[in-house]
Structure 1
Amino acid sequence: MTPAYTRVIQFFAAIAVCLLAALIGSAFTAPAIPTWYAALVKPALNPPAWVFGPVWTVLYILMGIALYIVWSKGWGRKDVKVGMAIFSVQLVLNILWSYLFFGLQSPLLALAGILVLWIAILMTIGAFYRVSTPAAALLVPYILWVSFAAYLNYGIYILNP
């Protein structure tokens, strides 16, 4: 049995990894918000810019909790290793989307990136489900939000030739 302090460290480490991804992504995002992004024509249903930060923060925390749940099942299990590997890939793809959209200011490349990200999230949910149903369920808001983000990304691409 894992000591309680180890579980606490794992819990905060899992959330910290996800929040670190958020921080890296925000390095590309933040400078573009008041300039490039503000000048774009947005699709219908585009929320105000201030909504994105709180929503993404909650999603990254949920992702971290899901990661912790899977990790806590034991690193020796193959399904845990597979789930964590797929999770890692989707997290990198999440950062990549911020770079493509805000860093490169390329809605087209970002659209391709978000579609690959969406598939990776779906694969992560499937892999997590094999380890822990609650961990998989914690990722459902994430895939729903990324689906909405894909709609916004596509709209921005179409409206800003």
Structure 2
Amino acid sequence: MTSFLYHIALPEAVFSSPAASILLPIALGTAVGYSTRPQVNDPEVQALKQPPLRPPARVFGPVWTLLYGTMGYAAYLAVGQTTAGLDISWNTKVVSAGLYTLQLGLNLAWMPLFFGLRRPIEATVDSVALLGINGYLMSLWLDNPATEAAGWLMMPYVGWLGFATYLSAGAGYLNDWTFGPSKSTKGTKKQ
């Protein structure tokens, strides 16, 4: 598994630069968010039943920007600074870099799955995987004094991922796990 994670990890130059570590997830998240966000007047999105406690849509952009920056800085602290001789094994560094890269890819896939493809089951599975990977990364980093600050920085992200998983699963469940056109309009042609 370490070999696989080594090959999928972002380049070391990203992790060794605090600016690149912070700005890369913000830029990628912003690009995916703007390209796959639902239209304000999309009747199918407006008709979706939402679980209790869902915040207004305007909250998500600022929250995700902050979380992307925080997770990027955590990756810099845990992976990038370890190149400066901090006490972390090569295996832990490779696992950290690979899992961080994997979770970033899964994170970026959620919006296209949920809003673009309208696949709530796959989006919820993606969210559960994100929560598990990031919970493990947080735990791994908290267990080592050299990466403990990175583990603490991951806590808000892991907490939000738990909430996001609830929202994803809740919306899927409340809408019978289908976000396509309503059953009454399926199979009818527009004239």
TM-score by length of 2: 0.73
- For 2:17 and 2:128, locate their aligned partners in 1 and report how far apart those are by CA, in whole Å: 30
SS at match of 2:82: coil
Structure 1 residue 75: Cα displacement: 7.3
> Partner residue of 1:80?
93
Alignment of 1:1-161 (within 5 A): 10-30=17-37, 32-34=38-40, 35=42, 36-70=44-78, 71-74=80-83, 77-78=89-90, 79-129=92-142, 130=144, 131-161=146-176
- For 1:128 and 1:84, locate their aligned partners in 2 and report how far apart those are by CA, in whole Å: 12
Matched to 2:135, the amino acid is L
Structure 1 residue 67: Cα displacement: 1.1
Matched to 1:41, the amino acid is K
Structure 2 residue runs of 5 or longer lacking an equivalent are 1-12, 177-191
User: Given the superposition, is the C-alpha separation of residues 28 and 158 from structure 1 closer, same or farther in structure 2, using an over 3 Å criterion?
Assistant: farther
Higher mean C-alpha deviation, range 71-80 or range 119-128: 71-80
- For 2:61 and 2:55, locate their aligned partners in 1 and report how far apart those are by CA, in whole Å: 11
Partner deviation per Cα, 1:71-103 (whole Å, 9 max, x = no partner): 112178512222111111111110111221112
- For 2:106 and 2:148, locate their aligned partners in 1 and report how far apart those are by CA, in whole Å: 23
SS at match of 1:63: helix
SS at match of 1:105: coil
Q: CA RMSD in A?
A: 2.0
Partner deviation per Cα, 1:20-64 (whole Å, 9 max, x = no partner): 33124314532x152243331111111100011111111011111
Identity of aligned residues (%): 33
User: Given the superposition, is the C-alpha separation of residues 37 and 128 from structure 1 closer, same or farther in structure 2, using an over 3 Å criterion?
Assistant: farther
Matched to 1:126, the amino acid is S
Matched to 1:152, the amino acid is L
TM-score by length of 1: 0.85
Partner deviation per Cα, 1:107-136 (whole Å, 9 max, x = no partner): 111111111111111122133333411101
SS at match of 1:73: helix
- For 2:48 and 2:135, locate their aligned partners in 1 and report how far apart those are by CA, in whole Å: 29
Is residue 40–residue 156 contact of structure 1 (8 Å, CA) maintained in 2?
yes
- For 2:60 and 2:83, locate their aligned partners in 1 and report how far apart those are by CA, in whole Å: 34
